[in-house]
């Protein structure tokens, strides 16, 4: 199914040209290379996503759907959208979706997936800060902005991120974040308390983005799990940033966005970050019975005041 370009696509093309003239951050560029290396590994574990989406399948979880609310006919910006399946699942619910991601490989896959599934969406390859700045200059506005699952750790500046979102939201518009709880980063894979609570945006250098899709054993492959690439070692290292929940909430409060919801969940969707996790319905995983309940995810919804212009 051919999806004709819209006026929004033309504006996004202008933004993409503007972004190309910006000076890249060296750490961000290295992170882009790390993501480009792992994208084909992640997608190798997913059965025909286009067919899955084309026939009404969705990669979304109930938590983000509830926080986003009714998105029919909303202009929705999906930041750090990865390979686009969540973006297209949002579009299938009636939103007019723009997805933005740092990785060239992820965006190329997302565009192909949009065409093959017949679900229209616009995808832009850009550093999130560059996109927010360029979109603000061009006057783009969105009723909903969404980011989910492994986003905050890639942000070098929380306040710039929050203020950029506040600028692009329409009055009454809502930003929703679904994220892994930083408390979970205090534990080793076998549930031993091992690390300090993340805070301050402290950089964390890693050997590279890993194959968490393969490790999830189907939790992140609702279209069907394939063995795909095995024993992957990323040749490109990456740098993450460690932030606490209080710092995230404060950044949005200081951007004059009103906190509507902050939920903490003692389970995790899709991923399998620890050993012996207990699988429940809907790709939800809990700690084993001998581990006390602790927050593994949180969900945030903030809104722009109706009087803010």
Report the predicted TM-score, pTM, of the whole model to 2 decimal places: 0.94
From the CA atom positions of the chain, what is the Rg in Å? 18
User: What whole-number distance in Å separates Cα of residue 54 and Cα of residue 240?
Assistant: 35
Share of the chain above pLDDT 70, in %: 94
Kindly report, residue by residue over 191-246, the tens digit of the pLDDT: 999 999 999 999 999 999 999 999 999 999 999 999 999 999 999 999 999 999 99
For residue 26, tell me if it sits in a domain: yes
For residue 309, tell me if it sits in a domain: no
For residue 37, tell me if it sits in a domain: yes
Kindly report, residue by residue over 55-75, the tens digit of the pLDDT: 999 999 999 999 999 999 999
Of residues 212, 215, 220, 214, the one with CA closest to residue 283: 220
Of residues 108, 74, 92, the one with CA closest to residue 176: 74
Point out which residues pair with 136 in neighbouring strands.
Answer: none
- In a 10 Å sphere around its CB, with 0-12 CB exposed, 13-18 middle and 19+ buried, how is residue 282 labelled? exposed
For residue 2, tell me if it sits in a domain: no
User: What whole-number distance in Å separates Cα of residue 249 and Cα of residue 143?
Assistant: 20
Region 40-63: what's the mean pLDDT? 98
Task: Count how many Cα atoms sit within 13 Å of the Cα of residue 150 in the half-sphere of its side chain.
Answer: 14
Would the pLDDT of 309 be above 80? no
For residue 11, tell me if it sits in a domain: yes
Q: Are 83 and 110 in contact (CB under 8 A)?
A: yes
Q: Are 296 and 178 in contact (CB under 8 A)?
A: no
CATH of the domain at 259: 3.40.50.150
How confident is the model at residue 12, as a pLDDT? 65
E-strand spans in 91-168? Answer: 96-101, 122-125, 142-148
Domain count, the chain: 1
Strands 297-304 and 257-265: antiparallel
Of residues 254, 86, 267, 279, the one with CA closest to residue 181: 267
For residue 32, tell me if it sits in a domain: yes
How confident is the model at residue 220, as a pLDDT? 98
Would the pLDDT of 190 be above 80? yes
Calculate the CA 142 to chain-centre distance: 17
Region 81-105: what's the mean pLDDT? 98
Kindly report, residue by residue over 124-154, the tens digit of the pLDDT: 999 999 999 999 999 999 999 999 999 999 9
User: What whole-number distance in Å separates Cα of residue 101 and Cα of residue 110?
Assistant: 10
For residue 234, tell me if it sits in a domain: yes
Residue 2 — very low, low, confident or very high, per pLDDT cuts 50/70/90? very low
Residue 120 — very low, low, confident or very high, per pLDDT cuts 50/70/90? very high
Kindly report, residue by residue over 72-89, the tens digit of the pLDDT: 999 999 999 999 999 999
Please give the full DSSP string across 275-298, using - where no structure is assigned: TTPEEETTTEEE--TTS-----EE
Q: Which domain holds residue 56?
A: 7-304
For residue 226, tell me if it sits in a domain: yes
Would the pLDDT of 14 be above 60? yes
User: What whole-number distance in Å separates Cα of residue 163 and Cα of residue 43?
Assistant: 33
């Amino acid at each position: 199914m051919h999806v004709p370009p819209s006026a929004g696509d033309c504006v996004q093309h202008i933004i993409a040209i503007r972004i190309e003239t910006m000076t890249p951050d060296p750490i961000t560029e290295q992170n882009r290379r790390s993501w480009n290396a792992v994208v084909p590994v992640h997608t190798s574990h997913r059965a025909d996503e286009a067919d899955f989406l084309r026939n009404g399948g969705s990669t979304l979880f109930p938590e983000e759907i509830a926080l986003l609310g009714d998105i029919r006919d909303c202009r929705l910006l999906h930041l750090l959208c990865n390979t686009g399946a969540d973006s297209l699942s949002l579009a299938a619910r009636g939103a007019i979706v723009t997805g933005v991601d740092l990785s060239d490989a992820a965006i190329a896959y997302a565009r192909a997936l949009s065409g093959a599934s017949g679900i229209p969406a616009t995808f832009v390859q850009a550093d999130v800060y560059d996109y927010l700045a360029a979109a603000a200059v061009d006057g783009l506005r969105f009723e909903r902005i969404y980011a989910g699952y492994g986003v905050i750790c890639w942000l070098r500046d929380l306040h710039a991120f929050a203020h950029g979102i506040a600028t692009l939201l329409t009055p009454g518009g809502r930003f929703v974040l679904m994220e892994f709880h930083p408390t979970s980063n205090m534990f080793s894979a076998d549930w031993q308390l091992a690390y300090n609570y993340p805070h301050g945006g402290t950089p964390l250098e890693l050997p590279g983005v890993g194959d968490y899709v393969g490790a999830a054993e189907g939790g992140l492959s609702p279209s069907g799990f394939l063995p795909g690439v095995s024993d992957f070692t990323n040749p490109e290292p990456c740098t993450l940033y460690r932030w606490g929940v209080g710092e995230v909430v404060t950044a949005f409060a200081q951007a004059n966005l009103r906190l509507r919801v902050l939920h903490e969940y003692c389970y995790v969707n899709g991923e399998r970050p620890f050993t012996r996790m207990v699988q429940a319905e809907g790709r939800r995983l809990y700690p084993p019975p001998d581990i006390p309940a602790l927050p593994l995810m949180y969900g945030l919804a903030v809104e722009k005041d109706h009087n803010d212009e």
